[in-house]
């Protein structure tokens, strides 16, 4: 039987992984309703979905979720940089039709062999 679960994962744990700490730091990221500097221009909204490996144990599966998270976040950051943005704000995670707007957790879809994370955020320039 095919597995199609959704899991809440720690945003702090994901942001401390080697993959997430290696992401470029010139583009800032803000999750959910996190406070950010004043926006002077909204450039657009984009989504990114990436996959990782589902493990046989919960720690292995969390690792796969965190990997997919870092890859998806990296794509949003890259898009923001390419569009001339200073940041990606209001980042939410989505699994199926269920968005999660949180400053502490993100959603990860878990199948038999793969994990999947989809992030959506708004690319902006801040006022100077």
Q: What is the pLDDT of residue 90?
A: 98
**Calpha distance 24→9 (Å, rounded):** 22
User: pTM for this structure?
Assistant: 0.93
CB neighbours of 100 closer than 8 A, spacing ≥ 6? 8, 92, 93, 94, 106, 107
pLDDT, tens digit (0-9, with 9 covering 90-100), for 41-99: 999 999 999 999 887 777 788 999 999 999 999 999 999 999 999 999 999 999 888 89
3-state secondary structure of 83: coil
Residue 1 has pLDDT above 80, yes or no: no
Handedness of CA 87, 89, 93, 98 (dihedral sign): negative
The structure tokens listed for 123 are: 């690319």
**Calpha distance 47→51 (Å, rounded):** 14
**Calpha distance 25→28 (Å, rounded):** 6
CATH architecture of 5-126: 2-Layer Sandwich (3.30)
pLDDT, tens digit (0-9, with 9 covering 90-100), for 92-118: 999 888 899 999 999 999 988 899 999
CB neighbours of 57 closer than 8 A, spacing ≥ 6? none
Q: What is the pLDDT of residue 53?
A: 87
pLDDT band at 24 (very low <50, low <70, confident <90, very high): confident
Residue 27 has pLDDT above 70, yes or no: yes
């Amino acid at each position: 039987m095919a597995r199609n679960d959704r899991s809440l994962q720690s945003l702090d744990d994901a942001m401390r992984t080697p993959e997430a700490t290696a992401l470029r730091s010139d583009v800032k990221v803000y999750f959910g309703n996190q406070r950010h500097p004043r926006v002077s221009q909204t450039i657009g909204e984009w989504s990114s979905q990436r996959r990782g490996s589902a493990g046989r144990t919960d720690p292995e599966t969390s690792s796969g979720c965190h990997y997919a998270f870092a890859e998806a976040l990296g794509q949003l950051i890259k898009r923001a940089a390419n569009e001339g943005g200073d940041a990606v704000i209001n980042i939410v995670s989505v699994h199926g039709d269920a968005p999660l707007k949180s400053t502490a957790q993100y959603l990860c879809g878990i199948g038999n062999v793969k994990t999947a994370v989809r992030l959506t955020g708004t690319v902006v320039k801040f006022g100077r």
